[in-house]
Amino acid sequence: MSVISTAIERLPILRSRGIYFDEKMVGYHVLQTGPRKGERLDFMFTAAAQSETIPGFFGAGGGVIALDGEVKAEGLAAKSPMRGTIRMDPRAKVGVMTYDFDFTGDDGKPYHFHGFKNREGLVDTLYGKVLDFEGGLVSEGTTYFDYDELWKFVRSFKLV
């Protein structure tokens, strides 16, 4: 074994393909259609995210991170698996992170969440909307990083 390959074996970051973390976002959405239009309802999701590469995590050239988790959207989805992506762009002034994920509502219909996260002081704010698969606006709202989960979030980061 060469000196270089021995060094690579001893430095996990050089063998790693990507970075993993999980987070929890909590907030609300306001329904935009139907008989409950205008109603403000709880909206929450937990997500596990993993980049394919380490540079991809940092958004060099527009990094994309795979996203899997669960959505709890009062009045829409009591508990639904979700899958999508986070696009990282640390150079952006607005929309540093763009979230896109799909889930199924309690009505059995597919829905799509699209949102962008801005860093405002110490608060991560995610402005988002839920669309039906015809592109109709179902709800809009705001979620925030759940700081009660901060220690869990910090501890979740790993090289994979």
Task: Determine the Cα–Cα distance for residues 26 and 10; give it in Å rounded to an integer.
Answer: 39
Bridge partners, 44 (sequence order): 26, 72
Run of H or E residues at 155: helix 150-156
pLDDT on residue 146: 85
Average per-residue pLDDT for the chain: 83
This prediction has a pTM of 0.83
Summarised one tens digit per residue, pLDDT across range 83-136 is 999 987 767 666 678 999 999 999 999 999 999 987 666 667 899 999 999 999
Burial group, residue 13, by CB count within 10 angstroms (0-12, 13-18, 19+): exposed
Label residue 16 by pLDDT band (50, 70, 90).
low
- pLDDT given at position 89: 76
Rounded-to-integer distance, Cα 107 and Cα 77, Å: 8
Confidence of residue 3 (pLDDT cuts 50, 70, 90): very low
Predicted local confidence at residue 122, as pLDDT: 61
What pLDDT does 1 receive? Answer: 46
Residue 5 has pLDDT above 80, yes or no: no
Q: Which residue has the tokens 């698996």?
A: 81
Note the pLDDT of residue 38. 93
The confidence score (pLDDT) of residue 131 equals 95
Chain segment 18-68, per-residue pLDDT in tens: 889 999 999 999 999 888 899 999 999 999 998 887 777 776 556 788 999
Under the banding of pLDDT at 50, 70 and 90, the label for residue 7 is very low
